[in-house]
Amino acid sequence: MTEPWLRPDWELPDTVQSIVTTRDGGVSEAPYGALNVATHVADQPAHVAENRRRLETLAELPASPLWLQQVHGTRVLLADANSAREQQADAVYTRDRHCVLTIMTADCLPILLCSADGEEIAAVHAGWQGLAGNIINKAVARFSATKISAWLGPAIGPCHYEVDERVRSRFDSDFGFGPGKDRGHWMLDLFAVARRQLADAGVESIAGGGCCTYCDSRFYSYRRDGQTGRFATLIWRR
């Protein structure tokens, strides 16, 4: 059977694994079909539970994913195997081998981080609010290691992500903002902004990015579909 998820291609030690789920491989019905992993989008709880169970089993995860309650904030949770589930945070860091870090998205940008020695990992939920609040810098600051690699997952691209002055005004510069369809609107490139912020934080190896969730129907997209599910981006130590 082909795996219903993707394996990110980036500079990752053998002792660390990462995957990104797609819409395939689950039991949820329209408009959530099929592998929705989110409990907060009004999908049937039994379907979400079964989807999460399948993910844990088929991906041979060493533990249940540490699901967060993502709130578009900038809190970085320092997690271990005993951390409570569903904590409010938009980034999570661990050194623990039994801790599966997970970010749920449907247009926002998921980012994975890993130290060169594979002993420290993190996952970040970076929508425009997280980026404007420097969540990347806060997550990178948790690392003891100085050599860190990053991977940018699927997110709504500059081809489809139009924002207004309310968003633009929250950023220090117009870097990553292209012209929109009229005055007062811009096309925001989350990937470009994230790459620059990662570089500013000292991360030299940056891969991924450029896969637009709105364009690519393998993924959930809130802007494309409105009521829909969420896919997961996961990283763990083996």
* Residues of the shown chain interacting with Zn ion in the complex, contacts defined by CB under 5 A: 157, 159-160, 212, 214-215
Q: Cβ closer to Zn ion: 93 or 214?
A: 214
Give the nearest distance from C-beta 63 to Zn ion in angstroms.
34
Give the nearest distance from C-beta 108 to Zn ion in angstroms.
14
Give the nearest distance from C-beta 213 to Zn ion in angstroms.
8
Q: Cβ closer to Zn ion: 157 or 176?
A: 157
Give the nearest distance from C-beta 86 to Zn ion in angstroms.
31
Give the nearest distance from C-beta 88 to Zn ion in angstroms.
30
In whole angstroms, give the CA distance from residue 25 to residue 32: 12
Q: Cβ closer to Zn ion: 58 or 211?
A: 211
Tell me the residue nearest to Zn ion as measured from the CB.
212
Q: Cβ closer to Zn ion: 148 or 188?
A: 188
Q: Cβ closer to Zn ion: 5 or 214?
A: 214
